[in-house]
């Protein structure tokens, strides 16, 4: 999806609507220590370990061929599902 640069990046993520998409990010093994420390701390936010790693943001142009920002649809409620189904019915892009 994007160029991965292990020497300079530990994690690659995309910001959509102001939020980092950490569950759809790519992580190098070098992130494990920071993630383990964060989980052991009991902190609730998945985003909490990011300040401890080198982060590379994926630009929108890099995901455009996969459907752009729409691929990060949040489908938690019935109305979210309806929106996702309508997007797919239109060809997913």
What's the pTM?
0.56
Q: What is the pLDDT of residues 41-78, one digit of tens each?
A: 998 787 888 888 888 887 778 878 877 777 777 788 99
Q: Predicted confidence band at 2 (pLDDT cuts at 50, 70, 90)?
A: very low
Give the list of residues 6+ apart from residue 69 with CB closer than 8 angstroms, or none: 14, 16, 17, 60, 63
Distance in angstroms between the alpha carbons of the first and the last residue of the chain: 16
pLDDT at 49: 87
Residue 20 φ then ψ, to 5°: -70, 135
pLDDT at 24: 75
Q: Which of 37, 31, 39 shows the shortest CA–CA distance to 13?
A: 31
pLDDT at 69: 72
Q: Predicted confidence band at 8 (pLDDT cuts at 50, 70, 90)?
A: very low
């Amino acid at each position: 999806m994007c160029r991965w640069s292990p020497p300079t990046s530990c994690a690659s993520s995309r910001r959509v609507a102001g939020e980092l998409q950490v569950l759809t990010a790519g992580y190098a093994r070098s992130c494990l220590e920071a993630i383990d420390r964060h989980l052991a701390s009991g902190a609730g936010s998945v985003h909490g370990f990011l300040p401890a790693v080198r982060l590379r943001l994926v630009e929108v142009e890099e995901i455009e061929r996969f459907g752009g920002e729409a691929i990060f649809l949040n489908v938690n409620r019935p109305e979210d599902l309806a929106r996702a189904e309508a997007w797919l019915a239109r060809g997913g892009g």
